[in-house]
Structure 1
């Protein structure tokens, strides 16, 4: 699925995401399958929308919307201070902030360092460089995902 062939549910979810993040003070990133699809990586199936934003913006989002922070301590490799999930159009939108990864027994803060701004339906989405995203999967989280062509 390319950026030009999103299902109506994914398209509506992306536009909704952009709208609710419109008051963010800090940069935020779209990553995961939706981010890769916007980068035109072939054969991507978008199953959810992953957003990395600042802790301050996540708190403001939660306060403004009444959405609950469901952060649960994460896994042995990955955790986040904020985890807010919504699915207004049947596609999970996962807002994460205060992300940390464990490497060699030590937890460290994680944020994307690269970004490409991609236009979708007249809205600008910040997406990490594909190589940085793949490095996060390999080194930080310890897994690769579907269809991750470089």
Structure 2
């Protein structure tokens, strides 16, 4: 995103991302903002960011749980998604969901989502790591739902 216009985000999203980045200071391994918040960080005009999704390692998710006093739990079963660890935190304007061991079902197989790329987007002095644009597009498209396919189309193209 070198040379790209500064990213301008709605206040609630900006505050939530800043809070999430502060929490992730305990991380010892790479982590990423994914899904609709990451699309917005790439400059996509997402009008309905309802939460912030953070993808982290299992060890870092455990650190976050201890820091926030949250119970480690697996989310309710879903036919398309699963996580080894799932945490939901409501201490920011938008909910923050921390996921570790996150996998997407593709046919009869589960594919763990571990981005191969990581680029940092700075917003108001806050460093926010996201997968590079095309990898993010592929990740969001792999979710397979109509809303995700629409959101993937909001990512700017080169």
Query: What is aligned with 1:59?
Result: 62
Q: Structure 1 residues 43, 19: CA separation in 2 closer, same or farther (over 3 Å shift)?
A: closer
Query: What is aligned with 1:3?
Result: 7
Q: CA RMSD in A?
A: 2.0
Q: Structure 1 residues 43, 64: CA separation in 2 closer, same or farther (over 3 Å shift)?
A: closer
TM-score (norm 1): 0.86
Q: Structure 1 residues 71, 3: CA separation in 2 closer, same or farther (over 3 Å shift)?
A: farther
Q: Tell whether 2:88 aligns with 1:85.
A: yes
TM-score (norm 2): 0.82
Q: In the alignment, is the contact (CA less than 8 A) between 1:74 and 1:80 conserved in 2? A: no
Structure 2's unaligned 5+ residue stretches are 1-5
Q: Secondary structure at the match of 1:19?
A: helix
Q: How many residues align?
A: 147
Q: Secondary structure at the match of 2:135?
A: helix
- The structure whose residues are more often strand, as a share, is 1
CA–CA distance in structure 2, aligned partners of residues 110 and 120 of structure 1: 25
Q: Which 4+ runs in 1 deviate beyond 4 A?
A: none
CA–CA distance in structure 1, aligned partners of residues 124 and 31 of structure 2: 18
Alignment equivalent of 2:31, drawn from 18, 28, 33: 28
